[in-house]
């Protein structure tokens, strides 16, 4: 069993839709939770970062962490074609950035 | 790209040959990492460094070695390349507690 599970999709939505992306994990030692966005043939770029449980909002993006359920989510409101990318969840037990990644969900936002 | 340069960006090599990938940073961050990205596996940590000459193994370190003789450079060496090491390799840097930033990747094909 992988330590981090993520539905690979692909996920296709119309412009303006609300997108929900999710990951589950098995290692209760994870304390830091991140979402990275990766465009084709590019490196991952940090989108959202949460320490421990709770919600964090940044513009159209909201990250949620539920440590009791070992479940994290990323919500994208008013999705745009420029949001089309692969979204990777990542988790870190110590803060040293030795990250454990999900396999990524490919999202396409249709104009 | 947070001052990270990976070289080469693309390489094709033959089975059994040694290969060295270079990561150069201009941010003076203490931590540097090498990840590989494969379909169905996401990104996995190969090795990381927490200072000059201080390195440690990650999740998938077999067949790889690293060296860090200067703060700005982190080298990944495949001593004898195999087809299973065909992958996209990403370097990342961080200064904890800040999150990691990734380079643009090196696409390696072993034939």
Q: How far apart are CA A73 and CA B43, in angstroms?
A: 19
B23 pLDDT more than 80: yes
Where residue A95 falls among pLDDT bands split at 50, 70, 90? confident
Helix (H, G, I), strand (E, B) or coil at A12: strand
Minimum-distance CB partner of A97 among B33, B40, B103: B33
B96 pLDDT more than 80: yes
Where residue B2 falls among pLDDT bands split at 50, 70, 90? low
pLDDT in the model for residue A53: 86
**A88 inside 8 A of chain B by CB:** yes
Closest CA–CA distance from residue B82 to any residue of chain A (Å): 23
What are A25-80's pLDDT values in tens digits? 999 999 999 999 999 999 999 999 998 888 999 999 999 999 999 999 999 999 99
pLDDT in the model for residue A96: 86
Q: If you write DSSP's letter for every residue of B29-68 in order, what string do you get?
A: -SEEEEEEEETTTEEEEEEEEEETTEEEE-TT-TTEEEEE
Instruction: Inspect the interface and report whether the beta carbons of A99 and B100 lie closer than 8 Å.
Output: yes
Q: How far apart are CA A13 and CA A79, in angstroms?
A: 8
pLDDT in the model for residue B1: 52
Minimum-distance CB partner of A97 among B1, B94, B104: B94
Closest CA–CA distance from residue B104 to any residue of chain A (Å): 4
Residue A98 CB coordination number (10 Å): 16
Which ranges constitute the DSSP H helices of A13-109? none
The chain B residue lying nearest A102, using CA atoms, is: B42
pLDDT in the model for residue B81: 97
What are B38-87's pLDDT values in tens digits? 998 889 999 999 999 999 999 999 999 999 999 999 999 999 999 999 99
Mutation choice for A interface testing from B41, B42, B45 by most A CBs within 10 A: B42
Instruction: Inspect the interface and report whether the beta carbons of A102 and B97 lie closer than 8 Å.
Output: no
Q: Which residue has the tokens 């927490």?
A: B50
Please give the mean pLDDT across all residues of chain B: 95
Find chain B residues with C-beta within 8 A of A6's C-beta.
Answer: 42
Closest CA–CA distance from residue B32 to any residue of chain A (Å): 9
- Pick from B31, B19, B12, B32: which is nearest to B90 by CA? B32
Taking phi over 0 as left and psi of -120 to 50 as alpha, with beta for the rest, A96 belongs to: alpha
């Amino acid at each position: 069993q992988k330590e981090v599970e993520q539905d690979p999709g692909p996920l296709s939505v119309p412009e303006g839709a609300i997108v929900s992306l999710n990951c589950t994990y098995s290692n209760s030692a994870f304390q830091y939770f991140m979402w990275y966005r990766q465009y084709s043939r590019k490196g991952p770029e940090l989108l959202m970062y949460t320490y421990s449980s709770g919600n964090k909002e940044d513009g159209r993006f909201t990250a949620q962490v539920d440590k009791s359920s070992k479940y994290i989510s990323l919500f994208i409101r008013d999705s745009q074609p420029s949001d089309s990318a692969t979204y990777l969840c990542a988790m870190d037990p110590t803060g040293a950035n030795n990250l454990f990644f999900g396999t990524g969900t490919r999202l396409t936002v249709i104009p | 790209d947070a001052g990270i340069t990976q070289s080469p960006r693309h390489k094709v090599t033959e089975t059994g040959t040694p290969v060295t990938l270079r990561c150069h940073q201009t941010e003076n961050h203490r931590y540097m990492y090498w990840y590989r990205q494969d379909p169905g596996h996401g990104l996995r940590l190969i090795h990381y460094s927490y200072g000059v000459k201080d390195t440690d193994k990650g999740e998938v370190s077999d067949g790889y070695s690293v060296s860090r003789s200067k703060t700005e450079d982190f080298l990944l060496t495949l001593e004898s390349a195999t087809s299973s090491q065909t992958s996209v390799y990403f370097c990342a840097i961080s200064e904890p507690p800040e999150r990691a930033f990734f380079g643009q990747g090196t696409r390696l094909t072993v034939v």
